[in-house]
Amino acid sequence: MLPQQAIAAQLGISRSAVAGHIMNLTRKGSIKGRGYVFSDAPFVSIIGGANIDIHGKSNKALRREDSNPGKVNTSAGGVARNIAENLARLGVDSRLVSAIGCDHHGQMLMKLCREAGVDMQYVQEIDSEATSTYLSLLDSSGDMHVAVSDMNIIDHLGVERLQLLKAALGQASLMVLDTNLTDDALAWLTQTFADKPIFVDAVSCSKAIRIRPYLQFVHTLKLSSIEAEALAGKEARTQTQLRNIANQLHSQGVDRVFITRGSQGVFYSDGDAQGIQKLQRGIRDVHNTGGAGDAFLAGLAYAWLEDWPLQESVSFALAAADVTLSHSATVSPALSLAAVNRTVEEAQRAG
């Protein structure tokens, strides 16, 4: 709140020089207004599901209608929450907007997320619902065979609650949504923040179609092959079919499309460049494939904040997914910027 002359006296420069510096900082957006209040550093708002993940992994080939010896692992999960933690582990200021219950699992989520560096100040606590739970069954190779998702609480994260966060959300450099959100929430968020880059994770076949009416507001859309088929209404097996789906989504307003294909890599398209990219070094040990897609989208978000070109962004995102696959938890505690960069370098040498 000091006047310009007082600032000049303390710095030993002229008042006109101070005025020039302030004008330049204001023009760049570093200063928000009167009082020389500096703007916040860039941050990402991630809005959607947060839950407890319970994964059961069989030691051998799964036998239906029988008890399968194996390992059971419990960890924090939820697509939006996973993306938020991955971003935090990459050094990004990541702010989660979600809903949890006032129960043991909710307290566990708050503790684990804060320890991982996620900003939890906008997470809503709901008395009337239990914290979301995701139960999955994996085979001995780590591939998910079936899962049950109890996400009822996310319906409470509606427009009325989100409107209270409008000012805070409006300061985000990037917004990431998952399709666990209700139709009303997706409509309000995409239309209210249409001037912002919005990244979307399709989550599942049944929920991917929720984003269909709002594709014109989506900057980056990440889907699996089966989610792409559900959304586009056509097969996504060959490269030609993938191109057709991507072109259809571009015609509806999506800037960038990424279709993940497991060990077959990822199909990418920004309307101009299209192709399939794989991590050349391959996966050494796969413990859980459940969080790879979330790590991939976090990698894309990080690359966008750094203003990297498309190919470099895909390589980084694939490396983030690779680091995640090697751990039993949905988000690998080994994930870091250094770990991802090492994986990128190893892939470059192998290629």
pLDDT in tens, 5-41: 888 888 989 888 888 888 877 776 677 666 766 656 7
- Name the strand (E) or helix (H) holding 217: none
Looking at every residue in the chain, the average pLDDT score rounds to 92
Q: How far apart are CA 132 and CA 150, in angstroms?
A: 5
| Residues 253-282 pLDDT 10s | 999 999 999 889 999 999 999 999 998 765
> Residues in the chain with pLDDT < 70?
28-29, 32-34, 36-40, 281-284, 288
Which amino acid appears at position 216 of this protein? Q
- Name the strand (E) or helix (H) holding 115: helix 104-116
Q: Which residues does 149 contact at the CB level (< 8 Å), separation at least 6?
A: 51, 132, 133, 134, 135, 204
Query: Which of 164, 99, 161 has its CA nearest to residue 128?
Result: 99
Superfamily of domain 40-350: Ribokinase (3.40.1190.20)
- pTM value is 0.84
Domain assignments of the chain as residue spans, ordered by start: 1-39, 40-350
- Determine the pLDDT at residue 282: 55
| Residues 154-167 pLDDT 10s | 999 999 999 999 99
- The β-bridge partners of 259 are 223, 267
Residue linked to tokens 């790879």: 292
Angle CA 256–260–280, to nearest 5 = 105
Q: Which residues does 342 contact at the CB level (< 8 Å), separation at least 6?
A: none
Q: How many residues does the chain have?
A: 351
